[in-house]
Structure formats: C-alpha cells, structure tokens
Amino acid sequence: MAKPNLALVGATGAVGTVMIDIINNRPNIWGEIRLIASARSAGKKIVVHGQELTVVELTPESFDGMDIAMFDVPDEVSEIWAPIAASRGAVAVDNSGAFRMDPEVPLVVPEVNPEQARNRPKGIISNPNCTTLTMMAALGALHRGWTLTELVVSSYQAVSGAGVSGMERLRHEISAVAGTNAGEASDDVLKTLEAAGLGLDDSPFANPVALNVIPFAGSLKAGGFSSEEMKVRDESRKILGIPELKVAVTCVRVPVLVSHSLAVHATFANSLTVADVHKALNEEPTVRLVDDPVNGLWPTPSLVAGQDPTFVGRVRQSLDFPNSIEMFVVGDNLRKGAALNTYEIAELVASEF
C-alpha cells in the first residue's frame, strides 16, 4: 500500500520550524514530503528525515499529488489556501482559527474525538487554539469517566502565543530592566522601558510584560471578553460535544517565553476523587502527572517547554463545590498547542490510506 504524500504550508515560520522537528523525531510514514512557503522563502533548503528538501512557493499547483496538507500560517492565508488545497485533492489540516467554528469543519483533538477526523465535508480539519489544547487531553479523559458539566479556567499564557515578536519583546524588556530597581513603584517598569527606547507603540502588548502580568490576551470582543476567552469557551464545547457546557474563562499574559499554564476548576455530573483523577490521567499516554506537593513537585512552564505531553498537577477535590476538581495544567503552546496536535491529526488521516 502506497504511503500518503504530505505537504507543509508555512514550513519556515515559527510553528513550521517546530513542525519540522516533530516530523524528524517521529516515524516516517510518508511518501513524498513537500515544504511550501511564501515566494520570499522559496528556495530554502531544510533537512527532513535525512533528505535535503527545497522549499517551494505557495501556488495551487504546489498541492498537486499531495494527500494531506498541513497549514501553519495566519488565518487570512488559510482562509484562501486551505480550500484550494482541498480542491486539488489534499485533506487540509489547518492550525489557524479560520475554520474552527465552521459547523462543516471538525475541530479535532486525537485523544478526545478522533472519529471526527473522518467527518470533513469541506475536506478541511481544524486544529484548536493553543489555550484550549493545553487542557483538552486531561479534560477529555475525565469527561469520559464522569461527564463534565461546568468549567472555570484562568490561563497564564506565554508570550510566544503572540508569535516571534512576543518572544523578542520579552527578551528586550528583560534586558532593559535587569540590574535596575524597576518593579518597586507605579509605572517605573514602563518608564525604564521607555528610557531604553522600548515604548509600547512598538510592542505586541498593551502593557509591559516583564515583571508584570497582563489580564488580557487576544482582541476585544463583545461584553468585554477577549478573543482567547471566547475561543476556550466555544472550542471546548465543540471538541467535547457539550453544546451547553457552562464555561467561564479569564486569559492572562505572563512573562514566560514558552508553555501555557491553566488553573482549571471542573465540575462533573458524577462524584470523583483525587485518586480517580490520578488513575484516569496516568492511563492517558499523552498526559504526565506531576503531583507531589509535599516535595514541591508540580508542573511549571520551565519544566514543560520543549516537551510533547500535557502535564497536570495540584489536583485537589474542591472543598466547597460538589463533584468538582481543581488542577493545574501546563503544555508547550508551540508543540501540543499547535504543531504537534496538527501533526497528530495528519497521522490520523494518514491511517486511512
């Protein structure tokens, strides 16, 4: 049986670079692998599974002969090109937000709803937002056993969620405040940054992020909510198949380069204990339980960065809320939160060939 051919659109971008690393470190199940990017990046050489490949320009013809096309590009690019890839015969697996809430496009997390990958009338499968994905493998396991009814989440999101510019901004701000007394008085961090030529006009964030937390991530939506908060609510409902799930979310940007963290309060229809949660999560191959507070062991971004699994700790049975569990969940937002889940969806589709 012939191996399916794989295209990667956005091969030279931040997430695309992580995707190349993931491809190189997983079994080679592919026939041809084709790397696609903008005209500006065409001609670059990248080694994939020991073979030097030349990046080709994004055109309709670049999808010819491809069975699966992964998209690691902005929404506006996916919106145009994912349907083109599908029209040329490739299943488009899209990491952008362009199609996530389209009722004719499945939103897939392989640990939770793999069957939905076959339900693709438009030839497109969507990958969830990185914040939603951080907790979804763990929540999916608990929902299967005890039926999730309510979800309250506070996120602590790394600056890499805002792209390369977010990471560069934090590094520059750290350099500017290092060795100073900034952070001890009102607005002295901002004044220090401005004195170093780092005004907010050039920042992807509305406030200083070094020595600070920003209680907002994304763009402003109705009712004062952010786009990130709405994504967590809407996508959780779709992935878990619970249209009426009660969800409350606050998304916060923190001075961390990589890995999103979530404080999760989850309520279930049936009673469960910490031991139940530990057992269920230990049985999930892509979840790592790090929950030994006596010895100071719990997930942190610095522990998790660069790793594929979802890490869970601080599991507690709520004192005042029946059938409720508190836990702290951390995942690398560039890997499981973006590239890895996209690739795992592609692997699901590849199994059909």
Residue 257 makes CB contacts below 8 A (sequence gap 6+) with 158, 159, 160, 167, 170, 171, 301, 305
Closest CA to 263 of 328, 314, 332: 328
Closest CA to 32 of 81, 59, 65, 71: 65
> What whole-number distance in Å separates Cα of residue 85 and Cα of residue 80?
9
134 near 260, Cβ under 8 Å?
Answer: yes
> What whole-number distance in Å separates Cα of residue 130 and Cα of residue 149?
22
Active site residue 49: no
The residue annotated as part of the active site, out of 49, 130, 251, 278, is 130
146 near 139, Cβ under 8 Å?
Answer: no
If phi > 0 it is left, if psi is from -120 to 50 it is alpha, else beta; for residue 324 that is: beta
Active site residue 251: no
> What whole-number distance in Å separates Cα of residue 349 and Cα of residue 70?
11
Q: Which residues carry out catalysis?
A: 130, 260
